[in-house]
Amino acid sequence: MPQPPPSPIEESEALDRILACIPAGDSEELVLEDCAGLYLARDLLARYPSPPFDCSAMDGYALAHTAEGYPAGSTWKILAGEGAAGSPTEHITAGQALRIFTGAPIPEGAGAVAMQEDVDRDPQSPADSLTLRCDYREGEYVRRAGSDLCAGQVLLRRGAPLTPQALSAGASQGLITLPCPPPPRVGILTTGNELVPAGQPLPPGAIHDSNLPLLQGLLRQAHVHLAGTAQCRDERDSLKATAHRLLSQDNCEILISCGGVSVGDHDHIAWLTKELGFTTVLWGVRMKPGKPFLFAAHPHGKWFFGLPGNPASAFVCFHRLVAPALRQRMGAAPELLIPPRIPATLRGNLENRGDRPHHLRGHRDADGFFQAVGLQQSHAIAGLANCNALLHLAPEQTLADGTTITVTPV
Ligand code: AMP
Ligand code: MG
């Protein structure tokens, strides 16, 4: 049985070692709707200006350009017809106005658009005309071509997250695909003789496998491809066969195991990774929860994350050590690998009497108050279920009620 190093390494070093092993995936042209949650593989330059032509910002009337301006009380003869979005408009000449709607091209010869609420129109008068109720300026309510974006301008940077708003920017440029590394293909293996899938009755001494849906949910949030899942007893032969099957199916390149990564008689994950030809990159991290965490790399470009089985440990290890690696594989910009912390005001007093940095599970409310929730032990599920932020507490650190802190939303 391989032994973990006598002193676990710091979490920051663990993350550095993991990131040094996992390069960004090769990029492919992916259809826009499949790019949500992925990252752009190269800078995206605008092909067209935006707006592509001068257009109206309001429903109202296009007013012919005049050097005298557009004072309150001035009257304009309304031409027959209209300018609607999607159709080209006529040109207008001095003193004329044309009914126009938002998004319609500005007619040639127009200098401003008057909002319909700002004009008096007398449809009874034989000469259909309007009178301005207030002063207007040249160019008012005209969206100029290129005022938002010029052709050639960088619209999105390489490594940018492809949020819905980023996808809409791509579509506005007429693109149907974007270059991104495709989602990594990830398998999950839970191990434990005590585990029974939810939905099945519990024999004495058994517990439901709650980490499988935890990890499925976390992977879904991470926008990766779930290549397969399996639950296995703590038996070497079946672990080896199951892990081998998971790693061979659906081009699985990352296997995340949960449980059995410590040094007990029923913990076989360290043995398993060696048996499958992986090289251990690290085993043991100075963090709480999550100390037995293991990471191993295979020469054929596959990676193995061994998470501890306690639910809070699996959760914290995923956020701190797995998710940044998945983002790097997906081509995220370096500054996006670790999510930004946000300010909060602490409710209650906290103290870390242990010798490892502690990631406390807590809840941050809409007013910015953070409170640790439930038991802060690694098996505790109640607090985990209500946790929406993690607080890092260094060894010996104490924090008093009301202190301004920063927390990581999860
Ligand atoms: P292990 O990491 O295998 O030593 O497990 C540590 C603790 O986590 C034990 O109390 C296990 O019963 C529990 N555990 C392990 N795997 C799971 C799982 N998939 N779902 C819920 N609890 C688990
Ligand atoms: Mg176990």
Ligand lying nearest the CA atom of residue 214: 1
Ligand lying nearest the CA atom of residue 207: 1
Task: Tell me how far CA of residue 83 lies from CA of 80, 101, 103, 203, in angstroms.
Answer: 10, 6, 9, 74
pLDDT for 1 equals 53
Ligand 1 closest atom vs CA 234: 3
Element holding 327 (H helix, E strand): helix 323-329
Closest CA to 333 of 138, 169, 180, 150: 180
Which amino acid type is present at position 287? M
Task: Tell me the torsion sign for CA atoms 79, 81, 84, 89.
Answer: negative
Ligand 1 closest atom vs CA 210: 20
Ligand 1 closest atom vs CA 266: 3
Separate counts of helices (H) and strands (E) for the chain: 8, 27
Ligand lying nearest the CA atom of residue 233: 2
Ligand 1 closest atom vs CA 231: 19
What is the Cα–Cα distance from 288 to 357, expressed in whole angstroms? Answer: 6
pLDDT for 400 equals 98
Each of the 410 residues of the chain gets a pLDDT tens digit; together they read 556 555 899 999 999 999 999 999 999 999 999 999 999 999 999 999 999 999 999 999 999 999 999 999 999 999 999 988 988 878 999 999 999 999 999 999 999 999 999 999 876 766 689 999 999 999 999 999 999 999 999 999 999 999 999 999 999 999 999 999 999 999 999 999 999 999 999 999 999 999 999 999 999 999 999 999 999 999 999 999 999 999 999 999 999 999 999 999 999 999 999 999 999 999 999 999 999 999 999 999 999 999 999 999 999 999 999 999 999 999 999 999 999 999 999 999 999 999 999 999 999 999 999 999 998 999 989 999 999 999 999 999 999 999 999 999 99
What is the Cα–Cα distance from 63 to 75, expressed in whole angstroms? Answer: 10
Nearest CA to ligand 1 atom 8: 310
Q: Which of 191, 195, 262, 265 to mutate to test the pocket of ligand 1 (most atoms within 8 A of CB)?
A: 195
Ligand 1 binding pocket, CB closer than 6 Å: 190, 192, 194-195, 207, 209-212, 258-262, 308-311, 379
Ligand 1 closest atom vs CA 260: 3
Which amino acid type is present at position 324? P
Peptide bond into 289 cis (omega under 30): yes
What is the Cα–Cα distance from 410 to 339, expressed in whole angstroms? Answer: 9
pLDDT for 6 equals 59
Ligand lying nearest the CA atom of residue 209: 1
What is the Cα–Cα distance from 274 to 297, expressed in whole angstroms? Answer: 10
Closest CA to 37 of 239, 253, 326: 326
> At 109, is the secondary structure helix, strand, or coil?
coil
DSSP string, 128-182: -EEEESS-B-TTTTEE-TTSSB-TT-EEE-TT-B--HHHHHHHHHTT-SEEEEPP
Ligand 1 closest atom vs CA 212: 19
Closest CA to 211 of 195, 187, 193, 227: 195
Q: Which of 310, 313, 316, 317 to mutate to test the pocket of ligand 1 (most atoms within 8 A of CB)?
A: 310
Task: Tell me the torsion sign for CA atoms 233, 239, 245, 248.
Answer: positive
- Which tokens hold the place of 216? 């499925």
Beta-carbon neighbours within 5 Å of ion ligand 2: 192, 259-260
Which amino acid type is present at position 74? S
What separation in Å is there between the alpha carbon of 384 and the centre of ligand 2? 20
What is the Cα–Cα distance from 63 to 96, expressed in whole angstroms? Answer: 6
Q: Are strands 279-283 and 294-298 parallel, antiparallel or unpaired?
A: antiparallel
Which ranges of 74-120 does DSSP label H, i.e. alpha helix?
none
What is the Cα–Cα distance from 70 to 136, expressed in whole angstroms? Answer: 5
What separation in Å is there between the alpha carbon of 318 and the centre of ligand 2? 18
Element holding 22 (H helix, E strand): none
Nearest CA to ligand 1 atom 23: 309
For the chain, how many residues are written? Answer: 410
Q: Is 27:181 a contact under the CB 8 Å cutoff? A: yes
Element holding 312 (H helix, E strand): helix 311-317
Q: Are strands 60-64 and 110-115 parallel, antiparallel or unpaired?
A: antiparallel
Which ranges of 159-268 does DSSP label H, i.e. alpha helix?
164-172, 211-221, 236-248
DSSP string, 345-387: EE-S-EE--SSS-EEEEEEE-TTSEEEE-S--STT--HHHHT-
pLDDT for 180 equals 98
- Which tokens hold the place of 380? 């505790």
Nearest CA to ligand 1 atom 17: 309
| Neighbouring-strand partners of residue 358 | 288, 393
Ligand lying nearest the CA atom of residue 308: 1
Q: Is 131:75 a contact under the CB 8 Å cutoff? A: yes
